[in-house]
Chain A
Amino acid sequence: MALASGASSGADLHLERLTKRFGGARGGTAAALAVDDLTLTVPAGSFFALLGPSGCGKTTTLRMVAGLEEPTSGRVLIGGQDVTATRAHQRPVNTVFQSYALFPHMDVLANVAFGLRRRGRGDAEAAAREALELVELAHLADRRPAQLSGGQQQRVALARAVVNRPAVLLLDEPLGALDLKLRRQMQVELKRIQTDVGLTFIHVTHDQEEAMTMADRVAVMNAGRVEQLGAPQELYDLPRSAFVANFLGQSNLVPGTVTGARGDLLEVALTGGGHALVPRERSVTATGPVVVGVRPEKVHIAPDAGRDDAGPAANRVGPGTVVDASFAGVSTQYLVDVPGAGRLSVFSQNLGHGPVARRGDRVRLSWAPEHSFGLRGDEDPAAGTLERESVADAVAAG
């Protein structure tokens, strides 16, 4: 029970070979593997995001940390202590549920004080009021949850969890039910609160933008495994799998073969006739088949007939045909069909007057070698695109 005393500044969380299988225990049929041999360390006091499409196992992972789901195998350690065998109410962990799960028969203050009262804190009410001030809802302390807006309920749910100063605070898609504007506002708010209270936050989300703006570290999950883990800029700058490249932002992925090396650069012959240089340390593989990737905003677009000012060292693809140009104010997105290489996307900042290219124009694409990254040659260049699109639809639908 000493565990439940909680920590004042969060503790680190360590997941060791955590696995969860649903069903199939008796029938012997193929059980659904929700979380597959997951090993992960979240440092104390950090804002950690578990990012992935629905069904990737991120919520199951969170529920296993909370004690609401029992792992099939593996261990959960909080602050170095093995809590795998303890039950939810014995763990120094609190959750902000996606549905908020506020108690409808209690007022806001009683909701927030609930956890403190269970642990016999004498000053539960005062501490609860303080927590309500933190989320700027002190004036609504005697309302019932049903009388609050979605955003206010969300804050109450957050206060109810934060007030206990848990060693680890779990957030299960806490902003999923809010509209876009409120969501952006709450992202800033959440980040501020995390900095204020200094607790370890683990945030589960399918919104890559949310994960990138809020978290110190992001683990991209797919099919029960962590695809890649790192700081948001790191993941964006140097994805190590096609899934990460496509799910976290967009990428242009072109298959090719390593033909040689020039110093620290790998020479790659791209399918469709182009060639590219990829820094050796930015490539997963140094020989044989490889998938070369580059982010759309790093690609330059130029008319095929025009002067080639990309420089001798630049990677080149094309010529290709512009199949779509959509103007979005600060930038224009071009979709370019390059025979053999597929359909590439280019974000071009609108610096000059008028568009660089129009639909149907012949264009050449180029980018600096240091912006390339290399992925395993057997990867599907489309992995993760569908998932990102379905997430984008869900986010737009609010």
Chain B
Amino acid sequence: MAALAGLAPAPPAAATPPAARRGARWTPYLLLAPGLLWLLLFFVLPLVLLVTTSLSEPVPGGEVGATQPAFRVANYTEALADYWPWFVRSVGYGLLATVLALLIGYPLAYAIAVRARARPLVQQLLLVAVVAPFFTSFVLRTIAWRQVLADESLVVSALKALAVLPDDARLTATPLAVVAGLTYNFIPFMALPIYASLERLDPRLLEAGRDLYAGPVTTFATVTLPLSLPGVVAGTLLTFIPATGDYVNAALLGGPGSAMVGNVIDSRFFRVVDYPTAAALSFLLMALILGLVALYVRRAGTEDLL
């Protein structure tokens, strides 16, 4: 019997899948193709070019900006040695703007998501108000801030009249103006993810908190805040990453003393035409932000909440 069983032909199943099914197997890749192609052309390729540039060296005796391929790691060490204060300033401004945006954005999101929940119309209007600035260009909005903070502006004269500011003080071209601009520009990025997670918050959980002897403050600290943490993490990342790498605010609102890494890269690329240093600085900034974000996400410990 065993011999007979061995002689029996192999079952025909699982031999070759029909043509139609073989086609279906490729469908996911076909769907991915446009996106992958896009990434390849506009992300991977430029990244490779940037790496190559960051390691290249000037052509001896060549034109301004002419480089030749090399493996000059010193580009990085020199960039870091020359420009580390700008890195510190960038991270500092980025952090400050993130904290300020959180302090302003969280109550804003809370008011819209929780307090205005019973009034959908008010809720919609407030959300539109949060998103409205996006209808104007980022640069235009920042230029408008220059008007707001200008020496002869209402804000400054009012602050001087109230003796909050000394008579000879100014707001433009100060770190304060840069941080204020960064904070303003990124508040929607902070408020919207927090709104999204607060909006999902089940109000019955807050009732359960109150029912279990937690007063308003304790309920907020033990129920609302932990449950909105995914939004807070998302919002801080969406604010910190672009704010740290930003150069528009520093360029338009700041002065020489408040320049950020982005401004250095900008001037290396377009004014000094020192491509290798600019590319190395870009990579250093990217690595720095990645490292800080990785540390933050790990510390926040919200993997199971996200």
A positions within 8 Å CB-CB of B:
4, 66-68, 87-90, 93-95, 97, 99, 101-105, 114-115, 118-119, 160, 164
Contact = CB atoms under 8 A, between A and B. Distances in A.
B220 to A, nearest CB: 12
A95 B204 CA distance: 11
A88 B223 contact: no
A218 B220 CA distance: 37
B210 A101 contact: no
Interface of B: 202, 204-205, 207-215, 218-219, 222-223, 226-227, 305
Nearest to B223: A103
A103 B213 contact: no
Nearest to B212: A115
Given A89-B209, A89-B214, A99-B202, 18 more contacts: A67-B211, A68-B207, A87-B210, A89-B211, A89-B213, A90-B213, A93-B211, A94-B212, A95-B211, A101-B204, A101-B208, A102-B208, A105-B226, A114-B212, A115-B212, A118-B214, A119-B213, A164-B212
21 contacts: A4-B213, A67-B211, A68-B207, A88-B207, A88-B211, A89-B211, A89-B214, A89-B215, A94-B212, A95-B207, A97-B207, A99-B202, A101-B208, A104-B205, A105-B305, A114-B209, A114-B212, A114-B222, A115-B212, A118-B214, A160-B212
Contacts of A101: 202, 204-205, 207-208
B205 A103 contact: yes
B212 A97 contact: no
Nearest to B226: A105
A67 B208 contact: no
B210 A103 contact: no
Nearest to B204: A101
A105 B210 CA distance: 17
A240 B305 CA distance: 55
B213 A118 contact: yes
Give the interface centre of A118, A119, A164 by most chain B CB atoms within 10 Å.
A118
A204 B98 CA distance: 48
B210 A89 contact: yes
Contacts of A118: 212-214, 218
Nearest to B207: A68
Contacts of A119: 213
Contacts of B208: 95, 97, 101-103
Contact of A99 (B204, B215, B226): B204
Contacts of A90: 213
A24 to B, nearest CB: 16
A79 B202 CA distance: 32
A104 B227 contact: yes
B305 A68 contact: no
Q: Which 5 A-B pairs have the closest CB atoms?
A: A115-B212, A101-B208, A118-B213, A88-B210, A101-B204
A4 B227 CA distance: 27
A102 B204 CA distance: 9
Contacts of A99: 202, 204
A176 B224 CA distance: 27
A67 B214 CA distance: 13
Contacts of B227: 104-105
A93 B213 CA distance: 9
A120 to B, nearest CB: 10
Given A103-B223, A104-B227, A118-B218, A97 B204 contact: yes
A91 to B, nearest CB: 8
Contacts of A105: 226-227, 305
Contacts of B212: 89, 94, 114-115, 118, 160, 164
Contacts of A104: 205, 227
B194 to A, nearest CB: 16
A118 B208 CA distance: 13
A134 B215 CA distance: 28
